[in-house]
Amino acid sequence: MNTIKYLKELSDQEREKFFDSFDLVFCDCDGVIWYPLRDFIPGSAEALAHLESRGKQVTFVTNNSISSMKEHIEKFAQQGNLKIKEHQIVHPAQTICDHLKSINFEGLIYCLATPPFRQVLKDAGFQLTEEGFLIEWHWHHQKPQGSSRSHLWRRVRRSCHHRCGL
């Protein structure tokens, strides 16, 4: 049975054995490197620099598409004084682009996403609808007969660009 060991409590020999046991580190950004959408967590930049000084490859994983890859790289440089390259970041928009390319997708994309996410798709050569469906949800507070619940209904107004074909 494995027991939890804290890095700071390891002997020098145990610490060396630990660092020699791997080559690649996958590291989430929000909540691990920096507070979500904010500043670096104290000590995280130093820990990353230490890993790199030991020859470890570090790949940063984010599910945050609010910030672009460029903004992530700038944040690493400005707040952590770290030189991170684009290939070191796994970003949701880039992952989607890679998948779409792998299946040779050439159609029109209706994309509900942040502007940076949409821009990555456009920069990769994918065609996105200019506008999408505008979905409006309304609560109708009349009780349907025999029901004590409010009735939810939706109205979809099509305001899609003519290329949607709808």
CA–CA dist 60, 72 (Å, integer): 10
Q: Taking Cα atoms as reference points, which of 112, 73, 74 lies closest to residue 93?
A: 112
- Contact predicate 11/38, CB 8 Å: no
Look up residue 5 and give its two tokens: 């060991």
Q: Tell me whether residue 128 is exposed, middle or buried, using C-beta atoms within 10 angstroms of its C-beta: 0 to 12, 13 to 18, 19 or more.
A: middle
CA–CA dist 61, 89 (Å, integer): 6
Strand partners, 116: none
CA–CA dist 129, 152 (Å, integer): 28
- Which of 20, 23, 39, 98 is flagged as catalytic? 23
Q: Which residue has the tokens 């104290």?
A: 42
28 catalytic? Reply is no
User: So which residues are the catalytic ones?
Assistant: 23
